[in-house]
Homo-oligomer: A and B are copies of this chain.
Amino acid sequence: MGFIKDHTVRIGLLGVGTVGTGVARILLTEQKMLHARCGTSFVLNSAADIDWSSDRGLDWSGVARTEDAYVVVDDPQVDIVVETIGGLEPAGALIARALRNRKHVVTANKALVAARGKELFTLAKQHRVDLLFEASVGGGIPIVKGLREGLVANHITAIYGILNGTCNYILTKMHMDGLEFSDALRQAQEKGFAEADPTLDISGGDAAHKLTILASLATSSLVDLGQLHVEGITEIESLDIAFAKEFGYTIKLLAICRGVDGKLDLRVHPTMVPNTHLLAAVSNELNAVFVRGSYVGDTMFYGPGAGQLPTASAIVSDLVDLSRDLTLREGHRFCNRTIDPSSAATVMPIGEITNRFYLRMHTKDAPGILSEISGVLGSERISISSVVQLEAHRVGDLVPLVILTHEAPESAMERALARIGQFPFVRDKVMRIRLFTDGA
């Protein structure tokens, strides 16, 4: 089955690093399988990279290799351009040029799509081509297709999940082996699950890029990356992990998108997930995303969020989709839920959101302290659901005081924390971790 008429689609590849090599490998070795499945002969027409000193273990015969990426995007032979360079430039300029040349583009570049979606989707629309980005979120997990097509009949009311494998690996190690953050990070780097410079991952920035893309898809409108509330995992201590376990929670970096009264609640932060929730069981470098639809209810997509071949698998699925596009009657295009670059989503300020909180502080072991702290929370109408104060082993030691609260507005908590921080008996910053509640 598949296409009744066979046809050939020519691919130009920009960047032959880890992911680009994976794409080349699938296109060069799986031609037959792909043809059997969709009737399309995918030909790797040309590939650009600044370094061709290695052949990456592949047979490149028949592929025009160049150091000049513009040769690829300007080549009239090329039907679809695959961008796996990463970063904003030159990737952005090359994609823009390809779209202007009326080539479809497939990218894995979450930073670029999140930051410059307006420009690029507008260009694609003007030139009647598609910019597909399955690989930009969740690596090999077909979450973009699931959202765009599989759940096309649904209004999406919430998306939440684990979108950064580096953070999930670090937090898993902290939970399993009782490691401190810095040791878990070093282990992640040794195992290849964290970059030499892990800033973008551990700051929550990478998860924010991906959430921006998912939220844009869910709302069919552009979400401004700058409007997200983003916190990373660098301040989480083994003590917090231990308390979380004690209370029956697992700490995960969650990316959350909810529709509330016509606005979007959009944030990335460490979250205490109850151990009864499936996300608590998603460990190591794996990713998982819950999608809540108006008709389907809750679904979850799980799998490898990064890696050479998973990411390449996602890119090739976009190529197969685009190969269909090239068989549509004149004037038709197929994407059935995509991002309208002329429509902007309204993001809710974090202060308007309501959450449950875990607070951990170090205080002196003296009478009246708990009363003063709970007094501040009470005056902000924040209700306490649980308190644990550990004993000091020596006179004068600081003791950890942990408070779980019921739901309270973020703005009230912000004011309470400012006041608590001024107490002379509270040392260092108060650690605040949000609790997962059913509405995400």
State A34–B152 Cα separation when bound (angstroms): 8
A309 on the B face (CB < 8 A): yes
Partner of A142, one of B149, B281, B324: B149
Q: What does the 1/0 interface line of A317-337 toward B look like (CB < 8 Å)?
A: 100110010011101111111
* B152-A146 in contact (CB<8A): no
Partner of A150, one of B145, B288, B304: B145
State A334–B327 Cα separation when bound (angstroms): 9
A220 on the B face (CB < 8 A): yes
Q: A146-B142, A297-B140 are contacts. A324–B336 as well, Cβ < 8 Å?
A: yes
Instruction: State how many copies of this chain the complex holds.
Output: 2
* A220-B36 in contact (CB<8A): yes
State A121–B85 Cα separation when bound (angstroms): 42
Total chain A interface residues with beta-carbon distance under 8 A = 69
A33 surroundings in chain B (CB, below 8 A): 155
Q: Which of A2-10, A177-185, A411-419 contacts B (4 or more CB under 8 A)?
A: A2-10
* B334-A3 in contact (CB<8A): yes
A359 surroundings in chain B (CB, below 8 A): none
A313 on the B face (CB < 8 A): yes
A38 surroundings in chain B (CB, below 8 A): 152, 336-337
Distance to closest chain B CB from A323 (angstroms): 8
Partner of A5, one of B4, B151, B331: B331
A121 surroundings in chain B (CB, below 8 A): 1
* B26-A295 in contact (CB<8A): yes
* B336-A320 in contact (CB<8A): yes
A427 on the B face (CB < 8 A): no
Considering the complex, give the chain B residue whose CB is closest to the CB of A324.
B334
Do most interface residues of chain A lie in helix, strand or loop, or is the interface mixed? mixed
A310 on the B face (CB < 8 A): yes
Q: A37-B336, A335-B1 are contacts. A149–B296 as well, Cβ < 8 Å?
A: no
* A296-B140 in contact (CB<8A): yes
A388 surroundings in chain B (CB, below 8 A): none
* B36-A152 in contact (CB<8A): no
A298 on the B face (CB < 8 A): yes
State A142–B300 Cα separation when bound (angstroms): 10
A293 on the B face (CB < 8 A): yes
* B300-A296 in contact (CB<8A): no
* A153-B304 in contact (CB<8A): no
Partner of A313, one of B22, B125, B128, B151: B151
A154 surroundings in chain B (CB, below 8 A): 313
* B150-A333 in contact (CB<8A): no
State A433–B332 Cα separation when bound (angstroms): 54
A26 surroundings in chain B (CB, below 8 A): 153, 295
Partner of A302, one of B128, B302, B304, B316: B302
A227 on the B face (CB < 8 A): no
Considering only residues 141-199 of chain A, those with a C-beta below 8 Å from chain B are 141-142, 145-146, 149-155
Considering the complex, give the chain B residue whose CB is closest to the CB of A130.
B1
State A293–B282 Cα separation when bound (angstroms): 19
A278 on the B face (CB < 8 A): yes
A298 surroundings in chain B (CB, below 8 A): 303-304
A391 on the B face (CB < 8 A): no
* B328-A327 in contact (CB<8A): yes
A299 on the B face (CB < 8 A): yes
A312 on the B face (CB < 8 A): yes
* B302-A278 in contact (CB<8A): yes
Q: A220-B36, A304-B298 are contacts. A150–B146 as well, Cβ < 8 Å?
A: yes
State A145–B2 Cα separation when bound (angstroms): 14
Most buried by B among A153, A278, A282, A298: A153
Given contacts A37-B336, A324-B324, 8 further A-B contacts (CB under 8 A): A4-B333, A34-B153, A142-B149, A146-B146, A152-B316, A296-B304, A300-B300, A327-B328
12 A-B residue pairings within 8 Å (CB atoms): A2-B336, A22-B295, A26-B153, A134-B150, A140-B295, A153-B312, A295-B310, A296-B309, A297-B310, A299-B304, A324-B332, A327-B328
